Structure 1
Amino acid sequence: MLNLSVLLESTARRLPGRAALVQGARTLTYAELDGKANQVAGALRANGVRPGDRIALIAPNVAEFPILYFGLLKAGAVVVPLNPLMKDRELSFVFNDCGAVAVFAWEGSEGLPVLANARAAAEQSPSVRQVIPLGELEDFLAPHPREAETEPTGAEDPAVIIYTSGTTGTPKGAVLSHVSLLLNARMKELLVPKHDHDVVLVALPLYHVFGQTSVMNGNVHGGATLVLLPRFDPKTALEQMIEHGVTLFSGVPSMFQAFLQADPDGTKLRAVAKTVRLVTSGGAGLPVALYERFRQTCGLGIRQGYGLSETSPTVTFSPWDEPIRPASVGKPVWGVDIEVVDKQDKPVPAGEVGEIAIRGHCVMLGYYNQPEATAEAVRDGWFHTGDLGKFDEDGWLYVVDRVKDLILRGGYNVYPAEVEQVLLSHPDVAITAVVGEDHERLGQEVVAYVVPRTGHEIDVDALSAWARERLAEYKYPRRIHVRDALPMTSTGKILKRELTAPGRT
């Protein structure tokens, strides 16, 4: 037997009175969190939920998320966490794809009708028997005791289904086992020196595997206090970190950029730095220029990790006992093998670019009900990521770009991330994305979209000259579009497929 909820149960026995969750004025101890999760398990069983049933959870970073997450696991159900921004059509696709039997949904607001969307989607999904609003959760749980037996699930049984963001097509459900998620959550013990009582700002969305595993599960196991931020706002996040004496923060690059924009003189960031012992970044490549700006502003280095929904997620991390290499995502973590391979799946030497392939305890069981897609992604035990990367001679991994983002200009390979790094080193540029657009003679042309830093204006001709001085002739962008913002997913990844002119050029 192995059930992922043991992460909570063991901490509740060890530290019952410690604050587990803080959300505004509300605080739950570990004993209270475990007790409510037990009530969830009891309520589900009373409503006919059986082990292996899929249940959707649609909520931002509110206390009900971990309560329900661990309660569903205790009942032996499979958690299907979903983005509250999803529309009813998108939710209906997922409900039908995974055969969800029930849905827990946050009410939302007039501008974001989460519950209404969930109910509309459920009407189009024959498998869904019940939609429970989070506002009615206490009534749903009230008849059930705070003690319950945890379902004796197997280590390789499905625990969570993470639906890919769908930035390149129809979302697929990556099925993650209890043991994969548990080992990934416990990775913190091996990667970060022990601390008696960490305080963690939970700004990453918990419906995403990064926030769920690396932030919530790993720190619940460690007995940390989790300060929940339902919606990321840089000013609020900085205030919360100062107020609660946060010691750990994990984010995506767009969050660090937002901190610098919101605190241009660095006063609040330097106050945060007095208590924070570790800052990590993942989810997307961290530009070296952004790393340097952040470090110069507050003195904190940012350690990068790398992972995917299909790998639970963490597969590399910047070693604590070695100096940070800002351009690298670190070294493979314990129990994980990584190779950089060519188009024939053969390993390439250090320094050469190829596709990143991963093997180990972290890899998903497969895509839910998609054997062909699973077979394409996982070959001979290796998960092929679709990311291009390279190792250096010391075994540090560098993610170069996505295979699908590679630009082929006049027969030459252009890696958008390399061009983006150069553009971001310009003092007027805050955010950029480089894409390939069709060109009759060259096949593709290099095109950049840029957002200026607060209080700055971008001279397109000057920026083009800046790039041309620093890049080979075939790499620099021939067209530059200035935008006020770039389209992003809720986890901070730029939606390159939505980038189209017009703009200021």
Structure 2
Amino acid sequence: MTTYNLASLLENTAARVPERDAIVFGDLRLNYGTVDALANQVANLLVDRGIEPGDKVALSCPNLPYFTIVYFGILKAGGTVVPLNVLLKGREVAYHLDDSGAKAYFCFQGSPELPIGAEGHAGFEQANGCEHFFMITADPAGASPIEGTDAMGQSMGPMPTTFESVSTDEDDVAVILYTSGTTGQPKGAELRHRNMRDNATAGEQLFGASAEQPDTFLCVLPLFHSFGQTVIQNGAFAFGGTVVMLPRFEAAPALDLMLKESITFFAGVPTMYWGLLGALTPETDVATLAENLRIAAAGGSALPVEVHKSFREKFGVTILEGYGLSETSPVASFSPHGEEPRPGSIGIPIPGVEMALLRPDSWDPIPDDLEDDGKTAVGEIAIKGHNVMKGYHDRPEATEEVLHDGWFKSGDLGRRDADGWYYIVDRSKDMILRGGYNVYPREIEEVLLTHPAVSLAAVIGVPHESHGEEVKAFVILEKDASLTSEELVAWGKEQMAGYKYPRIVEIVPELPMTATGKILKRELS
């Protein structure tokens, strides 16, 4: 049996360069030795509370040092990390805790504007099998703001700062990342230790990452999401880099941090690059920004050509585009470092990964014949390699739909040119990408239908200047019901995470349908 624990990304670097900065947050600087010791205390706390190897432990925390400390503490104890979106409401938290079978839950207390702790505890109270709740307080030594709940800092304080990490097989599940299809509730993608390790260490070939000259990363992508977790946090720790954390992306503060901390690596979704360019002023020291910045990486959605050009002109750095999904840990393809990017392309498969284009509703590949535009016909992108998930947690039928002989069906449509560069054409799923967050219409529709005045709902994405897409709902009301669009938007805000609820609601008398009763969403706009 091959043993490997993802926590070794931290442990190996802590042993090699314990004094090097691992995390920077405001005026707080934590070196690798300190982060490792704190993670050891979390691991000891979990073992003390009866958490065993293979148990699931959930985590709700924005981009703060606590996230990384708890994340690696769970892994050290042999547990599986279940990162949750900090915008989830109580009932959504309860669903994720129950579906994953989480035994323990660490939740940041949040703020009046973002009551993560209140929503998290409400979800914990509604969940059926979760046994332990730890409130991560803003003051590490402070008491939990919710009476009767444990404060993480106080609970881990007496624990030893040494811990021998549990030996796990590299095929054991390290992380469960929740994602959704166009039907049903969110599904947990089970990612093995080796999936996460190999995707993180791929930075050596993708970005020229080096332990001799480690990068300083600006972390604005949420760590609970696969992009930020693998490319920033784990990718940095694999080579001894420094992670500078910003809990919420705001362009002007991000530029200030890039200057203050001499950021060499920035990764973000296209709207973040759009924001950085818009925040530049005549007083901005662009020359220093450009001198420091070594790598700029983009994913999540297609990068507009004008943003690509403008960023290169201003910063002197070419944005490298890539592609991936939660199910692929996430990176599957990337624009090769050192080569001229091709506008609109998501690059080529990363080392150790294969990609193919499949015929509709089959596992048969389409021919490699090129068409008049120098690209192949459109097919569904399939992925095979070290990055592909083990499967969906407790969903064998859903797993069987997308996995076959090591290949994973992405649900995205693409084309390939003569040199093997891939291009996304469209999504075969109805997924909406709002500001870098995946929004799944079916889930929103099901929540809307719980409103007593709503008879039928259809949700689509519509173009939005800064968010990429906005969530729009078409709603048929119950007979004699009285409800305005504004009232339904306000209700949805209470029921769903901030990135999910529809900002635009159109109340209509009917919806276009096929003869079998299926809503024709392509006729909605």
Provide TM-score, normalisation by structure 1: 0.80
1:33-82 alpha-carbon deviations (Å, 9 max, x no partner): 11111111111101110111111100000001110000100000110001
Q: Which residue number in structure 2 is paired with residue 162 of structure 1?
A: 177
Q: Which residue number in structure 2 is paired with residue 288 of structure 1?
A: 305
Q: Which residue number in structure 2 is paired with residue 428 of structure 1?
A: none
Q: Which residue number in structure 2 is paired with residue 248 of structure 1?
A: 265
Distance 1:450 1:143, change over 3 A: closer
Residue 44 of structure 2 is aligned with which of 36, 42, 45? 42
Q: Which residue number in structure 2 is paired with residue 366 of structure 1?
A: 391
In the alignment, structure 1 residue 142 sits paired with structure 2 residue 160: no
Q: Which residue number in structure 1 is paired with residue 465 of structure 2?
A: 451
In the alignment, structure 1 residue 333 sits paired with structure 2 residue 350: yes
Q: CA deviation at 1:346?
A: 2.0
Q: Secondary structure, in 3 states, of the residue corresponding to 1:221? A: helix
Distance 1:121 1:226, change over 3 A: same
Q: Which residue number in structure 1 is paired with residue 481 of structure 2?
A: none
Distance 1:312 1:222, change over 3 A: same
Q: What is the rounded CA distance, in whole Å, between the counterparts of 1:329 and 1:180 in structure 2?
A: 20
Q: CA deviation at 1:167?
A: 7.6
Residue 275 of structure 1 is aligned with which of 282, 289, 292? 292
Contact map agreement 1:118 1:131 (CA 8 A) in 2: no
Q: Runs of 5+ in structure 2 lacking a partner?
A: 138-150, 434-440, 442-459, 468-491, 493-497, 508-524
Q: What is the rounded CA distance, in whole Å, between the counterparts of 2:306 and 2:230 in structure 1?
A: 28
In the alignment, structure 1 residue 391 sits paired with structure 2 residue 416: yes
Q: What is the rounded CA distance, in whole Å, between the counterparts of 1:268 and 1:313 in structure 2?
A: 34
Q: Which residue number in structure 2 is paired with residue 400 of structure 1?
A: 425
Aligned positions of 1:120-131 closer than 5 A? 120-131=122-133
Q: What is the rounded CA distance, in whole Å, between the counterparts of 2:280 and 2:349 in structure 1?
A: 34
In the alignment, structure 1 residue 109 sits paired with structure 2 residue 116: no
Q: Which residue number in structure 2 is paired with residue 51 of structure 1?
A: 53
Supply the AA of the counterpart residue of 1:193: G
Contact map agreement 2:345 2:424 (CA 8 A) in 1: yes
In the alignment, structure 1 residue 353 sits paired with structure 2 residue 378: yes
Q: CA deviation at 1:189?
A: 1.2
Q: Which residue number in structure 2 is paired with residue 211 of structure 1?
A: 228
Contact map agreement 1:238 1:269 (CA 8 A) in 2: no
Residue 310 of structure 1 is aligned with which of 327, 345, 351? 327
Residue 71 of structure 2 is aligned with which of 61, 69, 87? 69
Deviates more, 1:186-195 or 1:302-311: 186-195
Contact map agreement 1:307 1:314 (CA 8 A) in 2: yes
Distance 1:13 1:67, change over 3 A: same
Aligned positions of 1:463-502 closer than 5 A? none
Q: CA deviation at 1:112?
A: 1.5
Q: What is the rounded CA distance, in whole Å, between the counterparts of 1:447 and 1:238 in structure 2?
A: 30
Q: Secondary structure, in 3 states, of the residue corresponding to 1:185? A: helix
Q: Which residue number in structure 1 is paired with residue 219 of structure 2?
A: 202
Deviates more, 1:205-214 or 1:251-260: 251-260
Q: Which residue number in structure 1 is paired with residue 87 of structure 2?
A: 85
Aligned residues: 432
Aligned positions of 1:403-414 closer than 5 A? 403-405=428-430
Contact map agreement 1:105 1:134 (CA 8 A) in 2: yes
Q: What is the rounded CA distance, in whole Å, between the counterparts of 1:142 and 1:448 in structure 2?
A: 49
Percent pairwise identity:
43
Q: CA deviation at 1:501?
A: 5.7
Q: CA RMSD in A?
A: 2.8
Q: What is the rounded CA distance, in whole Å, between the counterparts of 1:45 and 1:186 in structure 2?
A: 29
Q: CA deviation at 1:321?
A: 2.9
Contact map agreement 1:101 1:128 (CA 8 A) in 2: yes
Supply the AA of the counterpart residue of 1:49: I
Deviates more, 1:122-131 or 1:23-32: 122-131
In the alignment, structure 1 residue 191 sits paired with structure 2 residue 209: no
Supply the AA of the counterpart residue of 2:78: G
Supply the AA of the counterpart residue of 1:173: G
Q: What is the rounded CA distance, in whole Å, between the counterparts of 2:43 and 2:111 in structure 1?
A: 28
Distance 1:499 1:399, change over 3 A: farther
Contact map agreement 2:209 2:215 (CA 8 A) in 1: no
Distance 1:276 1:165, change over 3 A: farther
Contact map agreement 1:115 1:133 (CA 8 A) in 2: yes
Residue 375 of structure 1 is aligned with which of 400, 405, 426? 400
Distance 1:269 1:133, change over 3 A: farther
Q: Secondary structure, in 3 states, of the residue corresponding to 1:267? A: coil
Q: CA deviation at 1:252?
A: 0.5
Q: What is the rounded CA distance, in whole Å, between the counterparts of 2:135 and 2:38 in structure 1?
A: 16
Contact map agreement 2:333 2:348 (CA 8 A) in 1: yes
Q: Secondary structure, in 3 states, of the residue corresponding to 1:216? A: helix
Contact map agreement 1:266 1:297 (CA 8 A) in 2: no
Q: Secondary structure, in 3 states, of the residue corresponding to 1:258? A: helix
Q: What is the rounded CA distance, in whole Å, between the counterparts of 1:299 and 1:267 in structure 2?
A: 15
